[in-house]
A and B are shown apart, each in its own frame.
Chain A
Amino acid sequence: MSTRIHVTVNGVEYSHFVEPRLLLVNYLRDVLRLTGTHVGCDTSSCGACTIHVNGKATKCCTMLAVQADGCQITTIEGLSHNGELHPLQEGFNECHGLQCGFCTPGMIMTAADLLQHTPQPTEQDIRHALEGNFCRCTGYHNIVKSVQYAAKKISEAAVVH
């Protein structure tokens, strides 16, 4: 038995029949071929699969595709606009915020949720927000710096406009 879902992913509307047990992360990766969202631990611990569902950071290995019916979804592929990197993507590049890069999409999506609510986070705010994201290269120090870079860039841009 399958169920029809309608979702908007990175601004594009999709409609598919899916099996109820299909996980949202597998829908994104295997059906839509958006493979920027990674499967790490597959037990909602590591945060590699973090995306935004209706603007909220979500571990999509712990959500069924059918639960996303009618939702607005943003994945790492939808973060840059017109070929210009999002300040977080630029920050990770500038501050050496990644080593193997596996955790990076999840780190960036979680940090993006933080910056929506807390545009000028303290170091402690950043570390608390990223508690659910593991970096097996243990590069946390530069990840924090990358988020600080993005926060600064976003706040400076806000002043200019």
Chain B
Amino acid sequence: MIPATFEYEKVTTVDEAIAALSNDDTKILAGGHSLIPAMKLRLNRPAKLVDIGGIRGLKDIKEEDGEIVIGAAASHADIMYHTLIRHHLPLFTEGAAMIGDMQVRNHGTIGGSLAHADPAADWPAMVLAAGAAIEVQGPNGRRRIPATEFFTGLFSTALEPNEIITAVRIPVPANGAKSTYQKFAQPASRFALAACAVMRFADGKTNIAFTGVGENAFRDTGAEQAITGKAIDENTINAAVNAALEGVTVMSDHYASEAYRKHLAKVYLKKALMMVK
């Protein structure tokens, strides 16, 4: 399978990438591991690709002003092997290792995954649970979009057509935080049939996010309220599991019916809460 024809431009700065996006029907090419398969299937046929693989510094991972800053072009493997991440944000180390397979992790990027917003992708649940902000840049400068406002629907985000994701910023959790990412993977694609990311802070605040369940990844405030500030025990776990997915439209497809997916999501929430006990 071969993509339809397109024009190709390799840029070396974020400003050049934004300028290129002012043309209609232009897409950013990062790792290409969501975009190229879609183009090969002709589900997507942009007139132009802007390759950001050569922008210096866009893969950097660093700590800055109490935040972990992950450059948008950092690959899943870059994040998985990074000692700063392992030290401050083990949720991302654990979760990155579950994305796709080794070859996909070597090329797929966090920014690409977030911009693509596949309903079953792994990063959306992790960035939501970690309380991250998505830093984006457009013709009018930079802005931060809280992860809770970023995912707006099926393959849809709050990103404007002429904006590019530059980084993911995560507040460094205070000592004593516990976290986990629990996923039931579709055995061939390794996308989540249902997955749950939980971040339990030292003060008892608990962030719970699901992916693979609804049209987009989301924080489950009902489940969070049932367990935030309380000891994690059988009663509070059951209360959170019962409260979860209230009002959520659960997806149904040929891999998993709505009822089965809902069941899986609750089982994986329970597993996750037991891990952060």
* B-binding residues in A (CB < 8 A): 1, 3, 19-21, 23, 26, 42-45, 47, 50, 56-59, 62-64, 66-67, 69, 110, 113-114, 129, 131-133
Q: For the complex, give the distance between the alpha carbons of A131 and B98 in Å.
A: 11
Q: For the complex, give the distance between the alpha carbons of A120 and B74 in Å.
A: 27
Q: With A20-B6, A62-B33 given, is the CB distance from A45 to B188 under 8 Å?
A: yes
Contact of A1 among B7, B29, B51, B188 (CB under 8 A): B7
Is A129's CB under 8 angstroms from B102's CB?
Answer: yes
* Smallest CB gap from A111: residue in B: B102
**Chain A residues with CB below 8 A from B60, complex form:** none
Whether a CB of chain A sits under 8 angstroms from the CB of B90 is no
Q: For the complex, give the distance between the alpha carbons of A108 and B259 in Å.
A: 41
Contact of B103 among A21, A47, A67 (CB under 8 A): A47
A-B residue pairs in contact (CB < 8 Å), sample of 30: A3-B8, A19-B5, A20-B6, A20-B7, A20-B8, A21-B5, A23-B2, A23-B36, A43-B1, A44-B33, A44-B37, A47-B101, A57-B102, A58-B103, A62-B32, A62-B36, A62-B37, A64-B32, A64-B36, A66-B8, A66-B51, A67-B29, A110-B102, A110-B103, A113-B102, A113-B106, A114-B102, A131-B101, A132-B101, A133-B101
Is B32's CB under 8 angstroms from A67's CB?
Answer: yes
CB distance from A71 to the nearest CB of B (A): 10
**Chain A residues with CB below 8 A from B101, complex form:** 47, 131-133
Contact of B49 among A20, A23, A44, A133 (CB under 8 A): A20
CB distance from A122 to the nearest CB of B (A): 15
Whether a CB of chain A sits under 8 angstroms from the CB of B248 is no
Given contacts A23-B36, A62-B107, A67-B53, 17 further A-B contacts (CB under 8 A): A19-B5, A20-B6, A21-B4, A21-B5, A45-B188, A56-B107, A57-B106, A59-B104, A62-B36, A67-B32, A69-B10, A110-B102, A113-B106, A114-B102, A129-B102, A132-B101, A133-B101
Whether a CB of chain A sits under 8 angstroms from the CB of B271 is no
Contact of B102 among A42, A67, A69, A132 (CB under 8 A): A132
Contact of A42 among B1, B5, B39 (CB under 8 A): B1
Q: For the complex, give the distance between the alpha carbons of A20 and B33 in Å.
A: 16
Contact of A57 among B4, B40, B103 (CB under 8 A): B103
Whether a CB of chain A sits under 8 angstroms from the CB of B3 is yes
Q: With A23-B2, A43-B37, A62-B37 given, is the CB distance from A56 to B104 under 8 Å?
A: no
Q: For the complex, give the distance between the alpha carbons of A62 and B3 in Å.
A: 11
Q: Which interface residue of B2, B7, B53, B101 has the most chain A CB atoms within 10 A?
A: B101
CB distance from A68 to the nearest CB of B (A): 10
**Chain A residues with CB below 8 A from B1, complex form:** 42-43
**Chain A residues with CB below 8 A from B77, complex form:** 56
Whether a CB of chain A sits under 8 angstroms from the CB of B189 is yes
Whether a CB of chain A sits under 8 angstroms from the CB of B100 is yes
**Chain A residues with CB below 8 A from B36, complex form:** 23, 62-64
**Chain A residues with CB below 8 A from B188, complex form:** 45
